[in-house]
Protein backbone atom coordinates (compact mmCIF):
# COMPACT_ATOMS: atom_id res chain seq x y z
CA UNK A 1 0.00 0.00 0.00
CA UNK A 2 1.28 3.45 -0.86
CA UNK A 3 1.53 6.05 1.89
CA UNK A 4 -1.35 7.98 0.33
CA UNK A 5 -3.54 4.88 0.05
CA UNK A 6 -3.97 5.57 -3.66
CA UNK A 7 -5.41 2.61 -5.55
CA UNK A 8 -3.54 1.55 -8.67
CA UNK A 9 -5.49 0.02 -11.58
CA UNK A 10 -3.77 -3.32 -10.88
CA UNK A 11 -4.96 -3.32 -7.27
CA UNK A 12 -8.50 -2.32 -8.27
CA UNK A 13 -8.62 -5.22 -10.74
CA UNK A 14 -7.30 -7.71 -8.18
CA UNK A 15 -9.97 -6.54 -5.75
CA UNK A 16 -12.65 -6.96 -8.42
CA UNK A 17 -11.36 -10.48 -9.04
CA UNK A 18 -11.48 -11.30 -5.32
CA UNK A 19 -15.04 -9.97 -5.20
CA UNK A 20 -15.94 -12.42 -7.98
CA UNK A 21 -16.79 -9.66 -10.47
CA UNK A 22 -14.09 -10.61 -12.99
CA UNK A 23 -11.82 -13.60 -13.60
CA UNK A 24 -8.04 -13.63 -14.10
CA UNK A 25 -8.42 -13.62 -17.88
CA UNK A 26 -10.54 -10.47 -17.93
CA UNK A 27 -8.17 -8.85 -15.44
CA UNK A 28 -5.26 -9.54 -17.80
CA UNK A 29 -7.27 -8.22 -20.73
CA UNK A 30 -7.93 -4.86 -19.04
CA UNK A 31 -4.27 -4.62 -17.94
CA UNK A 32 -3.11 -5.26 -21.50
CA UNK A 33 -5.47 -2.67 -22.98
CA UNK A 34 -4.35 -0.15 -20.35
CA UNK A 35 -0.70 -0.85 -21.21
CA UNK A 36 -1.43 -0.32 -24.92
CA UNK A 37 -3.19 2.97 -24.06
CA UNK A 38 -0.03 4.13 -22.25
CA UNK A 39 1.94 3.46 -25.41
CA UNK A 40 -0.59 5.34 -27.54
CA UNK A 41 -0.53 8.19 -25.02
CA UNK A 42 3.25 8.48 -25.46
CA UNK A 43 2.92 8.52 -29.27
CA UNK A 44 0.12 11.13 -29.17
CA UNK A 45 2.15 13.24 -26.73
CA UNK A 46 5.20 13.32 -28.99
CA UNK A 47 3.18 14.84 -31.85
CA UNK A 48 5.32 16.43 -34.54
CA UNK A 49 8.50 15.42 -32.65
CA UNK A 50 7.62 11.77 -33.19
CA UNK A 51 6.79 12.27 -36.87
CA UNK A 52 3.32 10.86 -36.18
CA UNK A 53 1.10 13.73 -37.38
CA UNK A 54 -0.67 13.86 -40.74
CA UNK A 55 -2.29 11.33 -43.05
CA UNK A 56 -1.30 7.70 -43.46
CA UNK A 57 -0.43 6.44 -46.93
CA UNK A 58 1.78 8.07 -49.52
CA UNK A 59 1.56 11.74 -50.60
CA UNK A 60 -1.39 12.19 -52.94
CA UNK A 61 -2.72 8.73 -52.06
CA UNK A 62 -4.21 8.79 -48.58
CA UNK A 63 -4.94 5.45 -46.96
CA UNK A 64 -8.74 4.92 -46.68
CA UNK A 65 -10.29 2.67 -44.01
CA UNK A 66 -13.38 0.45 -44.21
CA UNK A 67 -15.48 3.44 -43.07
CA UNK A 68 -14.45 5.31 -46.24
CA UNK A 69 -12.46 7.80 -44.14
CA UNK A 70 -8.85 8.91 -44.69
CA UNK A 71 -6.65 7.40 -41.99
CA UNK A 72 -4.19 9.42 -39.96
CA UNK A 73 -0.76 8.01 -39.15
CA UNK A 74 -1.80 7.84 -35.50
CA UNK A 75 -4.99 5.89 -36.38
CA UNK A 76 -2.82 3.22 -37.99
CA UNK A 77 -0.17 3.27 -35.25
CA UNK A 78 -2.73 3.04 -32.44
CA UNK A 79 -4.44 0.13 -34.19
CA UNK A 80 -1.11 -1.69 -34.51
CA UNK A 81 -0.25 -1.07 -30.84
CA UNK A 82 -3.58 -2.56 -29.71
CA UNK A 83 -3.30 -5.55 -32.07
CA UNK A 84 0.26 -6.38 -31.06
CA UNK A 85 -0.40 -5.98 -27.31
CA UNK A 86 -3.44 -8.26 -27.40
CA UNK A 87 -2.25 -11.01 -29.75
CA UNK A 88 -0.20 -13.26 -27.48
CA UNK A 89 -1.57 -13.06 -23.91
CA UNK A 90 -4.06 -15.91 -24.27
CA UNK A 91 -7.00 -13.78 -23.06
CA UNK A 92 -8.73 -13.24 -26.40
CA UNK A 93 -10.39 -15.33 -29.09
CA UNK A 94 -10.60 -12.43 -31.54
CA UNK A 95 -10.50 -8.69 -32.13
CA UNK A 96 -12.38 -6.17 -34.23
CA UNK A 97 -11.42 -2.57 -34.93
CA UNK A 98 -13.05 0.46 -36.47
CA UNK A 99 -9.95 0.67 -38.67
CA UNK A 100 -10.09 -2.93 -40.03
CA UNK A 101 -12.44 -4.37 -42.66
CA UNK A 102 -13.15 -7.63 -40.82
CA UNK A 103 -12.59 -9.09 -37.38
CA UNK A 104 -9.38 -11.05 -36.71
CA UNK A 105 -9.22 -14.32 -34.80
CA UNK A 106 -6.15 -14.77 -32.60
CA UNK A 107 -3.49 -16.61 -34.66
CA UNK A 108 -3.16 -20.33 -33.89
CA UNK A 109 0.46 -19.77 -32.85
CA UNK A 110 -0.88 -18.28 -29.58
CA UNK A 111 -3.28 -19.68 -26.98
CA UNK A 112 -6.91 -18.62 -27.41
CA UNK A 113 -8.98 -17.07 -24.61
CA UNK A 114 -12.68 -16.58 -24.04
CA UNK A 115 -13.12 -12.90 -24.84
CA UNK A 116 -13.68 -10.69 -27.87
CA UNK A 117 -12.20 -7.18 -27.90
CA UNK A 118 -13.57 -4.37 -30.07
CA UNK A 119 -12.00 -0.94 -30.29
CA UNK A 120 -11.86 2.46 -31.92
CA UNK A 121 -8.07 2.83 -31.64
CA UNK A 122 -8.02 6.62 -31.91
CA UNK A 123 -11.35 8.40 -31.69
CA UNK A 124 -11.65 12.01 -32.75
CA UNK A 125 -8.82 11.71 -35.22
CA UNK A 126 -9.73 14.99 -36.96
CA UNK A 127 -8.37 16.60 -33.76
CA UNK A 128 -4.93 14.93 -33.79
CA UNK A 129 -3.11 17.48 -35.90
CA UNK A 130 -4.55 20.45 -33.98
CA UNK A 131 -3.51 19.21 -30.51
CA UNK A 132 -7.01 18.66 -29.15
CA UNK A 133 -7.94 15.63 -26.99
CA UNK A 134 -8.38 12.27 -28.71
CA UNK A 135 -8.86 8.82 -27.21
CA UNK A 136 -9.20 5.04 -27.44
CA UNK A 137 -12.59 3.37 -26.87
CA UNK A 138 -12.97 -0.35 -26.18
CA UNK A 139 -15.66 -2.95 -25.58
CA UNK A 140 -15.33 -6.53 -24.32
CA UNK A 141 -17.71 -9.39 -25.15
CA UNK A 142 -17.64 -13.11 -24.37
CA UNK A 143 -16.80 -15.37 -27.26
CA UNK A 144 -19.82 -17.64 -27.79
CA UNK A 145 -19.50 -21.10 -26.22
CA UNK A 146 -17.68 -23.65 -28.38
CA UNK A 147 -16.26 -21.10 -30.84
CA UNK A 148 -12.45 -21.22 -31.05
CA UNK A 149 -12.06 -19.12 -34.20
CA UNK A 150 -14.65 -16.34 -34.11
CA UNK A 151 -16.01 -14.73 -37.28
CA UNK A 152 -17.74 -11.32 -37.60
CA UNK A 153 -21.14 -12.86 -36.75
CA UNK A 154 -19.90 -13.90 -33.29
CA UNK A 155 -19.25 -10.24 -32.42
CA UNK A 156 -22.84 -9.20 -33.21
CA UNK A 157 -24.07 -9.17 -29.62
CA UNK A 158 -26.16 -6.36 -28.10
CA UNK A 159 -24.48 -3.87 -25.76
CA UNK A 160 -26.13 -5.51 -22.74
CA UNK A 161 -23.76 -8.48 -23.34
CA UNK A 162 -20.64 -6.38 -22.74
CA UNK A 163 -18.59 -7.60 -19.77
CA UNK A 164 -16.36 -4.53 -19.71
CA UNK A 165 -16.02 -1.23 -21.54
CA UNK A 166 -13.85 1.83 -21.30
CA UNK A 167 -12.03 4.65 -22.93
CA UNK A 168 -8.75 6.42 -22.48
CA UNK A 169 -8.66 10.13 -23.23
CA UNK A 170 -5.33 11.65 -24.26
CA UNK A 171 -5.75 15.23 -23.14
CA UNK A 172 -4.02 17.51 -20.64
CA UNK A 173 -4.19 14.36 -18.50
CA UNK A 174 -4.31 10.77 -19.75
CA UNK A 175 -7.40 9.31 -18.13
CA UNK A 176 -8.75 5.78 -18.30
CA UNK A 177 -12.46 5.38 -17.56
CA UNK A 178 -13.53 1.81 -16.96
CA UNK A 179 -16.49 -0.36 -16.08
CA UNK A 180 -16.54 -4.09 -15.50
CA UNK A 181 -20.27 -3.88 -14.74
CA UNK A 182 -19.91 -2.58 -11.18
CA UNK A 183 -19.84 1.18 -11.50
CA UNK A 184 -17.75 3.51 -13.64
CA UNK A 185 -14.35 4.47 -12.30
CA UNK A 186 -11.70 6.97 -13.37
CA UNK A 187 -7.94 6.29 -13.36
CA UNK A 188 -5.39 9.01 -14.12
CA UNK A 189 -2.01 8.12 -15.60
CA UNK A 190 0.84 9.16 -13.34
CA UNK A 191 3.27 9.99 -16.11
CA UNK A 192 6.37 9.84 -13.89
CA UNK A 193 5.50 6.48 -12.35
CA UNK A 194 3.89 5.08 -15.51
CA UNK A 195 0.83 3.64 -13.79
CA UNK A 196 -2.88 4.40 -13.69
CA UNK A 197 -4.19 5.46 -10.27
CA UNK A 198 -7.86 5.65 -9.31
CA UNK A 199 -8.92 9.28 -9.03
CA UNK A 200 -12.71 8.87 -8.89
CA UNK A 201 -14.70 5.81 -7.81
CA UNK A 202 -18.31 5.15 -8.77
CA UNK A 203 -18.91 8.42 -10.58
CA UNK A 204 -22.53 9.59 -10.98
CA UNK A 205 -23.84 11.77 -13.79
CA UNK A 206 -26.22 14.48 -12.54
CA UNK A 207 -29.75 13.61 -13.73
CA UNK A 208 -30.57 17.15 -14.86
CA UNK A 209 -28.41 19.39 -17.01
CA UNK A 210 -28.22 22.75 -18.77
CA UNK A 211 -25.53 21.73 -21.25
CA UNK A 212 -25.79 19.99 -24.62
CA UNK A 213 -23.25 18.77 -27.15
CA UNK A 214 -24.06 18.49 -30.86
CA UNK A 215 -22.52 19.55 -34.17
CA UNK A 216 -24.85 22.51 -34.84
CA UNK A 217 -23.60 22.88 -38.41
CA UNK A 218 -25.73 19.84 -39.29
CA UNK A 219 -28.92 21.49 -38.06
CA UNK A 220 -30.60 21.83 -41.45
CA UNK A 221 -30.01 18.13 -42.20
CA UNK A 222 -31.68 16.81 -39.02
CA UNK A 223 -35.03 15.06 -38.76
CA UNK A 224 -38.06 17.05 -37.47
CA UNK A 225 -37.92 15.64 -33.88
CA UNK A 226 -34.27 16.75 -33.50
CA UNK A 227 -35.08 20.16 -34.99
CA UNK A 228 -37.90 20.53 -32.46
CA UNK A 229 -35.79 19.34 -29.51
CA UNK A 230 -32.81 21.63 -30.14
CA UNK A 231 -35.14 24.48 -31.10
CA UNK A 232 -36.62 24.26 -27.60
CA UNK A 233 -33.14 24.10 -25.98
CA UNK A 234 -32.11 27.24 -27.87
CA UNK A 235 -35.32 29.03 -26.85
CA UNK A 236 -33.97 28.88 -23.28
CA UNK A 237 -35.83 30.53 -20.41
CA UNK A 238 -38.52 31.87 -22.70
CA UNK A 239 -39.21 28.48 -24.32
CA UNK A 240 -41.03 25.36 -23.12
CA UNK A 241 -37.93 24.07 -21.25
CA UNK A 242 -37.89 27.19 -19.07
CA UNK A 243 -34.09 27.39 -18.67
CA UNK A 244 -31.07 28.60 -20.63
CA UNK A 245 -28.77 25.92 -22.05
CA UNK A 246 -25.06 26.15 -22.79
CA UNK A 247 -23.40 24.30 -25.68
CA UNK A 248 -20.03 22.48 -25.93
CA UNK A 249 -18.70 20.44 -28.88
CA UNK A 250 -15.11 19.15 -28.88
CA UNK A 251 -15.70 16.83 -31.88
CA UNK A 252 -13.88 14.02 -30.04
CA UNK A 253 -16.53 11.75 -28.56
CA UNK A 254 -14.12 10.71 -25.79
CA UNK A 255 -13.66 14.31 -24.66
CA UNK A 256 -17.34 15.21 -24.93
CA UNK A 257 -18.38 12.08 -23.02
CA UNK A 258 -15.68 12.67 -20.41
CA UNK A 259 -17.08 16.13 -19.71
CA UNK A 260 -20.58 14.66 -19.38
CA UNK A 261 -19.39 11.92 -17.01
CA UNK A 262 -17.67 14.62 -14.97
CA UNK A 263 -20.37 17.31 -14.75
CA UNK A 264 -23.44 16.14 -16.69
CA UNK A 265 -24.88 17.11 -20.04
CA UNK A 266 -26.29 15.44 -23.12
CA UNK A 267 -24.20 14.29 -26.07
CA UNK A 268 -25.93 13.68 -29.37
CA UNK A 269 -24.99 12.68 -32.87
CA UNK A 270 -28.44 12.33 -34.39
CA UNK A 271 -29.52 10.98 -37.72
CA UNK A 272 -29.17 13.57 -40.48
CA UNK A 273 -29.86 13.43 -44.20
CA UNK A 274 -26.10 13.17 -44.93
CA UNK A 275 -25.62 10.04 -42.84
CA UNK A 276 -29.17 8.59 -42.96
CA UNK A 277 -28.28 5.98 -45.58
CA UNK A 278 -25.57 4.63 -43.27
CA UNK A 279 -27.86 4.69 -40.20
CA UNK A 280 -25.98 7.51 -38.42
CA UNK A 281 -22.43 8.78 -37.98
CA UNK A 282 -21.11 6.94 -34.93
CA UNK A 283 -20.43 3.23 -34.78
CA UNK A 284 -22.55 1.00 -32.54
CA UNK A 285 -19.90 -1.59 -31.68
CA UNK A 286 -16.83 0.63 -31.19
CA UNK A 287 -18.31 3.89 -29.92
CA UNK A 288 -22.00 3.87 -28.94
CA UNK A 289 -22.13 0.60 -26.98
CA UNK A 290 -19.04 1.01 -24.79
CA UNK A 291 -19.90 4.66 -24.04
CA UNK A 292 -23.51 3.68 -23.28
CA UNK A 293 -22.43 1.04 -20.76
CA UNK A 294 -20.11 3.53 -19.02
CA UNK A 295 -22.89 6.14 -18.93
CA UNK A 296 -25.54 3.71 -17.63
CA UNK A 297 -23.13 2.44 -14.98
CA UNK A 298 -22.76 6.07 -13.87
CA UNK A 299 -26.54 6.51 -13.55
CA UNK A 300 -27.04 8.16 -16.94
CA UNK A 301 -29.03 7.02 -19.97
CA UNK A 302 -28.14 6.18 -23.58
CA UNK A 303 -30.51 5.88 -26.49
CA UNK A 304 -30.84 5.98 -30.26
CA UNK A 305 -33.65 8.47 -29.64
CA UNK A 306 -36.11 5.65 -30.15
CA UNK A 307 -34.62 2.70 -28.26
CA UNK A 308 -32.23 1.97 -25.38
CA UNK A 309 -28.82 1.79 -27.05
CA UNK A 310 -27.67 -1.33 -25.22
CA UNK A 311 -30.69 -3.29 -26.53
CA UNK A 312 -30.00 -2.64 -30.21
CA UNK A 313 -29.40 -6.01 -31.92
CA UNK A 314 -26.36 -5.44 -34.16
CA UNK A 315 -26.59 -6.54 -37.77
CA UNK A 316 -23.10 -5.51 -38.90
CA UNK A 317 -19.70 -5.01 -37.30
CA UNK A 318 -19.42 -1.46 -38.62
CA UNK A 319 -23.09 -0.57 -38.12
CA UNK A 320 -23.83 3.09 -37.38
CA UNK A 321 -26.51 4.48 -35.09
CA UNK A 322 -27.91 7.83 -33.91
CA UNK A 323 -26.64 8.55 -30.37
CA UNK A 324 -28.12 10.42 -27.37
CA UNK A 325 -26.41 9.89 -24.04
CA UNK A 326 -25.74 11.54 -20.71
CA UNK A 327 -27.92 13.05 -17.98
CA UNK A 328 -30.91 10.76 -17.57
CA UNK A 329 -33.73 13.31 -17.56
CA UNK A 330 -32.30 15.10 -20.61
CA UNK A 331 -31.92 11.89 -22.63
CA UNK A 332 -35.53 11.07 -21.73
CA UNK A 333 -36.56 14.54 -22.89
CA UNK A 334 -34.81 14.03 -26.26
CA UNK A 335 -36.46 10.61 -26.61
CA UNK A 336 -39.83 12.23 -25.88
CA UNK A 337 -39.56 14.40 -29.01
CA UNK A 338 -38.73 11.35 -31.13
CA UNK A 339 -41.58 9.25 -29.72
CA UNK A 340 -44.03 12.14 -30.08
CA UNK A 341 -43.19 12.50 -33.78
CA UNK A 342 -43.31 8.83 -34.77
CA UNK A 343 -41.01 5.86 -34.55
CA UNK A 344 -40.48 4.94 -38.19
CA UNK A 345 -37.58 7.21 -39.17
CA UNK A 346 -34.65 5.01 -38.14
P1 LIG B 1 -13.61 9.04 -35.75
O2 LIG B 1 -13.79 7.77 -34.96
O3 LIG B 1 -13.32 8.76 -37.20
O4 LIG B 1 -12.65 9.98 -35.15
O5 LIG B 1 -15.07 9.77 -35.81
C6 LIG B 1 -15.84 9.91 -34.67
C7 LIG B 1 -15.87 11.35 -34.22
C8 LIG B 1 -16.37 11.48 -32.80
O9 LIG B 1 -15.30 11.42 -31.90
C10 LIG B 1 -17.02 12.84 -32.79
O11 LIG B 1 -18.06 12.93 -31.85
C12 LIG B 1 -17.52 12.98 -34.18
O13 LIG B 1 -16.79 12.08 -34.99
C14 LIG B 1 -17.29 14.37 -34.70
O15 LIG B 1 -17.97 14.52 -35.89
P16 LIG B 1 -18.04 15.95 -36.64
O17 LIG B 1 -16.72 16.12 -37.29
O18 LIG B 1 -19.17 15.77 -37.60
O19 LIG B 1 -18.32 17.02 -35.62
MG1 LIG C 1 -14.42 7.13 -33.41
Establish whether residue 103 lines the binding site of ligand 1, counting it when its CB lies within 6 angstroms of any ligand atom.
no
Ligand 1 neighbour 127 (Cβ under 6 A): no
Taking the C-alpha atoms of residue 310 and residue 289, their distance in angstroms, rounded to an integer, is: 6
CB 290 within 8 A of CB 157: no
The C-alpha atoms of residue 253 and residue 300 are separated, in whole angstroms, by 16
Q: What is the pLDDT of residue 4?
A: 64
| pLDDT for the residue numbered 345 | 46
- Is 161's C-beta closer than 6 angstroms to any atom of ligand 1? no
Nearest-atom index, ligand 1, CA of 127: 4
Q: Print pLDDT tens along the chain (346 aa).
A: 444 679 999 999 999 999 999 999 999 999 999 999 999 999 999 998 988 888 887 767 778 877 777 788 999 999 999 999 999 999 999 999 999 999 999 999 999 999 999 999 999 989 999 999 999 999 999 999 999 899 999 999 999 999 999 999 999 999 999 999 999 999 999 999 999 999 999 999 999 999 999 999 999 999 999 999 999 999 999 999 999 999 999 999 999 999 999 999 999 999 999 999 999 999 999 999 999 999 999 999 999 999 999 999 999 999 999 999 999 999 999 999 999 876 444 4
Instruction: Give the Å distance between the CA of 100 and the centre of ligand 2.
Output: 13
**C-alpha span between 74 and 52 (Å, rounded):** 6
Q: CB neighbours of 321 closer than 8 A, spacing ≥ 6?
A: 279, 280, 282, 283, 284, 288, 304, 309, 312
Residue 70 Cβ < 6 Å to ligand 1? no
Q: Which listed ligand is nearest to 253 at the C-alpha?
A: 1
Task: Report whether 257 contacts 288 (CB < 8 A).
Answer: no
pLDDT of residue 324: 98
Residue 341 has what pLDDT? 73
Question: What is the CA(280)–ligand 1 centre distance, in A?
Answer: 11
Report CA-CA distances (Å) from 263 to 182, 184, 257.
Answer: 20, 14, 10
**Closest ligand 1 atom to 120 CA:** 2
Residue to mutate (ligand 1; options 76, 214, 282; most atoms within 8 A of CB): 282
* Mean pLDDT across the chain: 94
Query: Residue 193 has what pLDDT?
Result: 93
| pLDDT tens sequence across 261-301 | 999 999 999 999 999 999 999 999 999 999 999 999 999 99
The residue whose CB lies within 8 Å of the most ligand 1 atoms, and thus the one to mutate among 123, 214, 220, 326, is 123
Q: In this structure, which residues have their CB less than 5 angstroms from ion ligand 2?
A: 120, 123
Q: What tens digit of pLDDT does each residue of 39-91 get?
A: 999 999 999 898 888 888 776 777 887 777 778 899 999 999 999 999 999 99
pLDDT of residue 66: 77
Angle of helix 24-46 versus helix 73-87 axis, rounded to 10: 150
* Cα 123 to middle of ligand 2, angstroms: 4
What is the set of domains in the chain, with CATH numbers?
A: 3-200 (3.30.540.10), 211-340 (3.40.190.80)
Q: Which atom belonging to ligand 1 lies closest to the Cα atom of 252? A: 9
> Could you tell me the distance, in angstroms and rounded to a whole number, from the CA of residue 252 to the centre of ligand 1?
6
Atom 12 in ligand 1: residue holding the nearest Cα:
251
* The predicted structure's pLDDT at residue 285: 98
Give bridge partners of residue 142 from the DSSP assignment. 115
What was the pLDDT predicted at 86? 95
Amino acid sequence: MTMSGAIALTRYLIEEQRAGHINAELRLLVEVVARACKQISVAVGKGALGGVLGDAGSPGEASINVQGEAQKKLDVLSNEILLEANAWGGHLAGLASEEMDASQPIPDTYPHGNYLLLFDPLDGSSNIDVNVSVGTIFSVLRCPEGIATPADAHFLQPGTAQVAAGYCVYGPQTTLVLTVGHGTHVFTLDREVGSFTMTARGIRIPEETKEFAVNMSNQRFWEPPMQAYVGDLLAGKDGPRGKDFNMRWVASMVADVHRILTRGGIFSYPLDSKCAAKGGKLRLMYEANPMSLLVEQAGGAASTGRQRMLEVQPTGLHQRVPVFLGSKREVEAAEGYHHAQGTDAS
